[in-house]
Structure 1
């Protein structure tokens, strides 16, 4: 029977190669170009001039998807891709409805409406981009996005190089790599927070999940790991390397567990509950005191995390200030001279609780850490759920002391990587799906049984 299954799987693989409608090369080039040009918006020169506006270029993937559909007319493929919209738009609904409730019931909190609308819009663009990239490239969308981001970072390096000169630039990069991220000048100008955090997600995928069944797959996997490490170091995010390595160990432990699905859900629930303890420790200064006792340089976070205490209550009845409400608080502190620069809060867990209230925060954490892992496992496969929780666990480390929860490219990676990976899982499930034997196959099996085989 195993021989028959192997034959069927081999036949299916050959059939898949001949029947899968590939995205035409010129459309693939347009999609990659949209990603690269949108990514260039994170170059400090363009970012200072245009802000987040260049990111809108990723909407060009809608045009690419439309052109691809005109060429392939594959209705099943578009239905599969669009099927991801509802589960991810659920979070957009939470942001919108909770904030509307806060603003309607407390008109004093409406100053942040325009910024909140912009942030919700960009989070919606994130979902649109992920869905249509997966429509265009399916399980290869990860590779297309990864190499697009590599091209973006390489372009930024080349654009910055004339300011410092070739020799000084190369010397700065070498120093950065040798000293594990300590550098000034040229490399300091390459510090791109969002894209650098994204390469941490790619490292987890290529190190632990990328296919390696063929030589081309092994080559892409090795290249993915090497380039991810390089761009993480050049991006001056040394802290992400221990985080991604810890997550890789976590993945190995989950795979060895007797029931990995339950291990994944237990991880999500544990993080969900931990956040409430974290909020308590932060509000009461216990966390800051503990970190300072270890000699950790808080870099001003000790001051920032105390300032909101008079503006919120750690209570299940806390209603919230509304989406982007903390930004208003930061501007007030800056105007009053409490801080010398309008720094972000650098604590997304605290920020989301203050803005969305106890109910909104519970929904945010519950959907991300409990609902989504369950969705990936039940609708696709345990490995897809593991990939999602692994990336989320890595990003959670940054949520605790940084402001990455709504970073554009990091949010794309958190959705697109498991989404694209789920296409590969779907194909595997199709291959092993049982098929009734033909009369000839049934007779052959009976003869084998009678012969004692």
Structure 2
């Protein structure tokens, strides 16, 4: 958190030094900051109203959410054109430190054991696999792979080495939902090439994503999800217990108002501390529980449909395409993880979108 505050302060100093005069690319950063912060303020305000009216017993300052967004846009404002390059280098260095430490502390054999676990699922190698599962860093690597495969305009031989390193580190970290999400995005982009009006396809898939999110909540509410997981023998790493506790406190009907922002985390830490977990590991369920039936739908619609339309109108098709696939990847991860509060994931998601919008508007 302290380092995030430093970036924000530096951005404020630059803003004051420039007397709030923005260049063309800085105006785009400003426009997108307003667009991205609106839903966060609306949800926070809604949560305060729920508390005032007595529908919830918890109110949050929502500091982490605002800090993540403010710091991401502050770094964009400070570094602009080089922000992606520096971010990729920082990711590689960070994961390399983890790699060197694990090899030094636990031995070089942890690497082949990790890959044995990856390809065989043999639980004898589970401990080695966990050493490289650096949650937010691992999941964030998927964004960079999408960037290299589909977003980066000029892919050169210089990009091959960092892309391969990122790919290998992603495999070492091995998050099942990340691998699934990447495969789905790759297949989807390939299939979309056969459509003439791609933007209509993007909107259609966005609405399908909203529908599937409600189906997921319904399946939890009716117990279908838990039965299916049990029959398939899938190891949810305890998620089924967390999900069952939270979904039992909600109602799958339009009259369910939700409990307000960050109520889920607060409840898991306090009332349900016996679960020994602070994060629900499903941002989809978390937002349903906190925003309510209708608020949940509005949250989905704003991110999956509304922002997509705005970006397409203001910054063009390619920017909309980038936003669409990055957001789909994010929402797939939302099903089984705490991506919404992972700084590295949210930071990379944000900078890739904003940088693409700047490039398209400035015809870079």
Q: Which bin holds the TM-score, normalised by the shorter protein?
A: 0.7 to 0.9
Larger Rg over CA atoms = 1
What residue in structure 1 maps to residue 209 of structure 2?
271
Aligned partners of 1:331, 1:247: CA distance in 2, in Å? 34
- Aligned residue for 1:385? 320
In 1, distance between residues paired with 2:34 and 2:278? Answer: 35
Residue aligning to 2:28: 80
Give the secondary structure class of the aligned counterpart of 1:311: coil
The worse-fitting range, judged by mean Cα deviation, of 406-415 and 364-373 is 406-415
Report if aligned partners of 1:251, 1:386 keep a CA contact under 8 Å in 2. no
Name 1:152's counterpart in structure 2: 94
Q: State the match for 1:47 in structure 2.
A: none
SS in 2 for 1:180: helix
Deviates more, 1:284-293 or 1:232-241: 232-241
Where does structure 2 lack aligned partners over 5 or more consecutive residues? none
Deviation of the 1:103 alpha carbon? 0.9
**Is 1:316–1:358's contact at 8 Å kept on the other side of the alignment?**
yes
For residues 289 and 130 of structure 2, the distance between their equivalents in structure 1, rounded to whole angstroms, comes to 33
The separation in 2 between residues aligned to 1:179 and 1:187, in whole angstroms, is 7
1:330 alignment partner, one of 255, 265, 268? 268
Query: How many corresponding residue pairs?
Result: 359
Residues 141, 170 of structure 2: 8 Å contact kept: yes
Q: Which residue is equivalent to 1:241?
A: 179
State the 1:58 CA deviation: 4.0
Alignment of 1:2-401 (within 5 A): 52-59=1-8, 62=11, 65=14, 75-106=23-54, 109-110=57-58, 113=59, 116-117=60-61, 120-159=62-101, 161-164=103-106, 168=107, 170-177=108-115, 179-180=117-118, 183=125, 188-212=130-154, 217-331=155-269, 334=272, 339=275, 341-342=276-277, 344-401=279-336
Structure 2 counterparts to residues 403-442 of structure 1, below 5 A: 403-428=338-363
Change in 2 beyond 3 A, CA 1:188/1:298: closer
TM-score by length of 2: 0.87
Q: For the residues of structure 1 that align with 2:210 and 2:313, how far apart are their CA atoms? A: 20
* CA shift digits 1:22-78 (9 cap, x unpaired): xxxxxxxxxxxxxxxxxxxxxxxxxxxxxx5555454365268559969xx874443
The CA deviation string for residues 108-160 of structure 1, in whole angstroms up to 9 with x for no partner, is 512xx3xx32xx32322333333333334445422221212222222343455
Task: Kindly indicate whether the alpha-carbon contact (under 8 Å) linking 2:247 and 2:289 is maintained by their aligned counterparts in 1.
Answer: no
Q: 2:357, 2:205 → 1: CA distance?
A: 21
Could you tell me whether the CA contact under 8 Å between 1:191 and 1:234 is conserved in 2? yes
Q: Secondary structure at the match of 1:316?
A: coil
Aligned-partner Cα distance in 1 for 2:235–2:280: 16
